[in-house]
């Protein structure tokens, strides 16, 4: 199984794709993961013919036989520009399929509840959460691409597990626990896991990992 992640820092923080790799390795299953990411990057940049981001994406698509290509946009763009986001996904999904792979969407989360980032972007936690979920779901439905509902699972964890800090201090990026939650969601919703993986990063305590797995599996 070969998976290419195309996105930005919400993907590369804590090396989330590698966490997924290790989860699968602990199950005795081998997968290959690669990141094609840039901090603050927009998916639309992958379509700009004169950009390094576009050239790298095209190279990576052709360089290996991928099973899945996971697409993840800039943090708030999908709910601010849903039509543009859907069109971008449509064009990229066509390129992914032309390369012999299947597209999947990494639906991300809202800024931390109560953070200054929300009013600074003229939104609320609920509006951003719901806007992201709607934009990713509509783009997924329009293109026959599975949506990994990380953002909504993140929201459920914020409410159900207040003792677990899912956010980095910047209130935007994931903590290690947040990235672990993301990887577990991919393990379940993309790779079909039906039970927790035995893998737990050294910096994350086992009890927290178990709580996060229980929540993710409750969404299946």
Across the chain, mean pLDDT equals 96
* pLDDT for position 54: 86
Q: Is the pLDDT of residue 173 over 80?
A: yes
What's the average model confidence in pLDDT over 35-49?
A: 89
Rounded CA-CA distance 206/193 in Å is 19
For the beta sheet containing 68-71, the strands, ordered from the edge strand earlier in sequence to the opposite edge, are 32-37, 2-7, 68-71, 102-106, 147-148
* pLDDT for position 128: 97
Strand ranges, E, within 41-194: 68-71, 102-106, 147-148
Q: Is the pLDDT of residue 115 over 90?
A: yes
- Residues of the chain above pLDDT 70, percent: 100
Q: Give the residue among 7, 64, 16, 44 at the shortest CA–CA distance from 168.
A: 16
Candidate from 50-59, 85-94, 206-215 with smallest mean pLDDT:
50-59
* pLDDT for position 50: 77
* pLDDT range class, residue 38, cuts 50, 70, 90: confident
- Residues of the chain above pLDDT 90, percent: 91
Residue 174's Cβ-count burial label (10 Å; 0-12, 13-18, 19+) is: buried
* pLDDT for position 53: 83
- Which residues are CB-contacts of 60 (< 8 A; sequence separation ≥ 6)? 4, 6, 34, 36
Q: pLDDT tens digit string along 123-137? A: 999 999 999 999 999
Q: Is the pLDDT of residue 62 over 80?
A: yes
Residue pair 213/161 in contact (Cβ under 8 Å)? The answer is no
* pLDDT for position 70: 98
Residue 112 DSSP one-character state: P
- The maximal CA–CA distance of the chain, rounded, in angstroms, is 48
What's the average model confidence in pLDDT over 132-158?
A: 97
* pLDDT for position 39: 87
* pLDDT for position 65: 95
């Amino acid at each position: 199984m070969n998976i290419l992640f195309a996105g930005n820092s919400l993907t590369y923080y804590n090396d989330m794709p590698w966490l997924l790799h290790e989860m699968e390795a602990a199950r005795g299953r081998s997968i290959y993961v690669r990141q094609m990411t840039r901090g603050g990057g927009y998916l639309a940049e992958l379509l700009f013919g004169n950009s390094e981001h576009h050239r790298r994406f095209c190279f990576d698509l052709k360089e290996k036989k991928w099973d899945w290509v996971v697409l993840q946009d800039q943090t708030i763009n999908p709910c601010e520009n849903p039509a543009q986001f859907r069109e971008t996904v449509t064009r990229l999904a066509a390129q992914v399929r032309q390369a012999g792979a299947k597209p999947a969407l990494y639906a991300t989360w809202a800024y931390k509840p109560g953070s200054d980032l929300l009013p600074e972007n003229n939104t609320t936690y609920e509006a951003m959460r719901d806007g992201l979920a709607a934009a990713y779901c509509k783009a997924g439905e329009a293109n026959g691409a599975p949506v990994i509902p990380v953002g909504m699972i993140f929201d459920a964890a914020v409410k159900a597990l207040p003792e677990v800090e899912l956010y980095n201090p910047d209130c935007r990026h994931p903590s290690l626990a947040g990235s672990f939650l993301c990887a577990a969601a991919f393990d379940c919703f993309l790779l079909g896991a039906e039970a927790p993986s035995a893998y737990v990063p050294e910096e994350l305590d086992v009890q927290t990992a178990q709580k996060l797995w229980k929540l993710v599996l409750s969404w299946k």
